[in-house]
A and B are shown apart, each in its own frame.
Chain A
Amino acid sequence: MISADRLPTVMDVVRAGRSTRPPRDVDTADQLRAALRRHVPQGELTLRARDLRSDTLSLSHSSLGLLRGTLVTQLLRLASVGYVPQDPFTEAVEAFIAGDDRDEFVQILRDLDRDERDRLAADVAAHAVVLRRRLGTIPPSWFPRTLVRGSVRVAGGHVVLKDTIDLVLGRRVGDTAAVALIDVTTSPLDASAERAGRFHALVHTLRTGVAPLCVATLSTATGDVVRLDVDGDTLTRAVHDVNATIHGAVAA
């Protein structure tokens, strides 16, 4: 039996196949932009990765679930600069409030009674254990950056694709694809995680002009890690997902 500590970490998964990386793709972005002109809605439509996820409402989509996800993201940001919290919940809260004390989740956090707060703290602590075990150590030489935002207009400017990548590693200069996008979710992974991964890859390609190498998703609920290699087919499917969503909005 393999213990959880011996399972490959996100860093291992991203590092895999270093010798067989594809060449850097700087040509696909224009084709994608052209393919996204197929359906043009009236007015303006904003699409996010969550719009492509499954519709099932779960704890992860409740206020407390979203708050938990936000706090786990703070722990990821701390890990990106090599900071190891002694008290994950307290320090994640400190980091979060310092970022924006007017955020609606800060108010939700302040409104929690003692019992709710302790339950949330226990929940975050459990996710922090999985994050620490399954993320691995992020090398500073991989240029880690966190909460990288994208806001790209397509379909003649009528559709805004908005996205935030939890962690981006690697640089887009060089002869081979080297950028990895990491998504950390507090939900279990399902089929919609792959759709979200494709969306992340699409927005990154449109934003930077260079296709990423891969998208890796870690669930801190289960410890599962999946890697989606990005190629032309991945990006074409992402365009199809977006066009289908736009078409649905236009038809409605």
Chain B
Amino acid sequence: MNQLQLRHVSGRRLSSLLAEVADTPFRFSDEQRDALAARFRAVPTTQHRRLDAWSVEQGGAEPTPFAWSPSNARRSLGRSALAAVHVGRSPSLAVAVRQEIERVSDRALSPSIPSGSLAVWLVHQRPAVRAIVAAEAVTWATETLECFDDLLVDWEALGSDAYYDVAGARTSLRGRREALVNAPTGRVLVRVRSGAPGASAGAGLRADLVTDALANPLGVAALRIVGLWPDAGIALAVDGTEGNVKRGARGLVRAASVRQGATTQRRAS
């Protein structure tokens, strides 16, 4: 099925998104990987570019300069805390977040830590700001946990996103993912976003789907990727079919192309 599926968030409806999944997901062959890399190489770039679902949803718009803040630190810290609680390594999300903040802050002492890292930012913050960071992370992790429990199936918290560097194209792809559900015939990915899904949410989901497939050592796509928007109470899903994977790949190449066009235009003016 290549269509986007939509559900209001509630236990019964979410679990239905996991009950009826395709049997055979798409699998990238070496030739298909090479062909995709050639398409990215055809879009020249003077510097390394990073593309993700957000770039696709924004039509290739240049990302604004990144700066750490409590709200953009929450996912990194909250995700680790969620995983720690889920496997029983920590008694509560509040404790897990506190431990994660301490662990990350300790890394700031390492001479090899980049100056723009979360660790360096955290250790330079006042105690009240670190407490707000903790509040943000606990909130994110708890709301995410609530959503995952609505899935009514066993899930595995994923500690990292999917990354794929396109050979010879100076292009890194990042696919967001928060949890994995192992179905009898393959993987179902779950991704969580804040806010409400817009008109390009499906294109974003397909971008995450294709990046995860490329990052998979066997090139196998997930059976389905489910996007959860807890703020809006909405879940969207796309299947790991050839059609969806190809549309996802086209979206990423288009985003690279639009961004390159904008860069060229800016330089010309």
**Does any Cβ of A come within 8 Å of B56's Cβ?**
no
Shortest beta-carbon contacts, A-B, top 6: A209-B10, A91-B128, A145-B139, A83-B131, A140-B94, A207-B233
**Does any Cβ of B come within 8 Å of A148's Cβ?**
yes
**Does any Cβ of A come within 8 Å of B5's Cβ?**
no
Contact between A98 and B194 (Cβ–Cβ < 8 Å)?
A: no
User: Once bound together, how far apart are the Cα atoms of A209 and B128, in whole Å?
Assistant: 34
Q: Which of A54-62, A128-136, A150-158, A228-236 contacts B (4 or more CB under 8 A)?
A: A150-158
Q: Which of A13-21, A74-82, A106-114, A191-199 contacts B (4 or more CB under 8 A)?
A: A74-82
Contact between A81 and B10 (Cβ–Cβ < 8 Å)?
A: no
CB < 8 Å: which of A33, A77, A92, A173 contacts B149? Answer: A173
A side interface size, CB within 8 A: 41
Beyond A147-B139, A150-B231, A151-B196, 10 additional contacts (C-beta under 8 Å) are: A77-B135, A78-B135, A81-B97, A81-B134, A98-B70, A140-B94, A144-B142, A153-B196, A207-B232, A209-B11
**Does any Cβ of B come within 8 Å of A100's Cβ?**
yes
Contact between B232 and A152 (Cβ–Cβ < 8 Å)?
A: yes
Contact between A81 and B125 (Cβ–Cβ < 8 Å)?
A: no
CB < 8 Å: which of A98, A100, A143, A207 contacts B231? Answer: A207
User: Once bound together, how far apart are the Cα atoms of A80 and B129, in whole Å?
Assistant: 13
User: Once bound together, how far apart are the Cα atoms of A94 and B130, in whole Å?
Assistant: 10
**Does any Cβ of B come within 8 Å of A210's Cβ?**
yes
Known contacts A81-B134, A146-B135, A153-B232; A209 and B143 CB within 8 A of each other: no
Residues 20 to 65 of chain A near chain B (Cβ within 8 Å): 26, 29-30, 33
User: Once bound together, how far apart are the Cα atoms of A150 and B233, in whole Å?
Assistant: 8
The proximity string for B residues 189-232 relative to A, scoring 1 for CB distances below 8 Å and 0 otherwise, is 00000111000000000000000000000000000000000111
Enumerate chain A residues within 8 angstroms of B12, measured Cβ to Cβ.
Answer: 26
Contact between B10 and A210 (Cβ–Cβ < 8 Å)?
A: yes
Supply 20 A–B pairs (Cβ within 8 Å), ascending by A. A26-B11, A33-B8, A77-B132, A78-B132, A78-B135, A81-B94, A91-B127, A95-B70, A95-B128, A143-B142, A143-B145, A145-B142, A148-B143, A151-B195, A151-B232, A173-B149, A207-B9, A207-B231, A208-B230, A209-B9
**Does any Cβ of A come within 8 Å of B83's Cβ?**
no
**Does any Cβ of B come within 8 Å of A127's Cβ?**
no
User: Once bound together, how far apart are the Cα atoms of A152 and B234, in whole Å?
Assistant: 9
Contact between A85 and B128 (Cβ–Cβ < 8 Å)?
A: yes
Known contacts A74-B132, A209-B10; A99 and B138 CB within 8 A of each other: no
- Minimum distance in angstroms from A189 CB to a CB of chain B: 25
Known contacts A207-B230, A210-B10; A99 and B71 CB within 8 A of each other: yes
**Does any Cβ of A come within 8 Å of B69's Cβ?**
yes
- Minimum distance in angstroms from B86 CB to a CB of chain A: 14
**Does any Cβ of A come within 8 Å of B267's Cβ?**
no
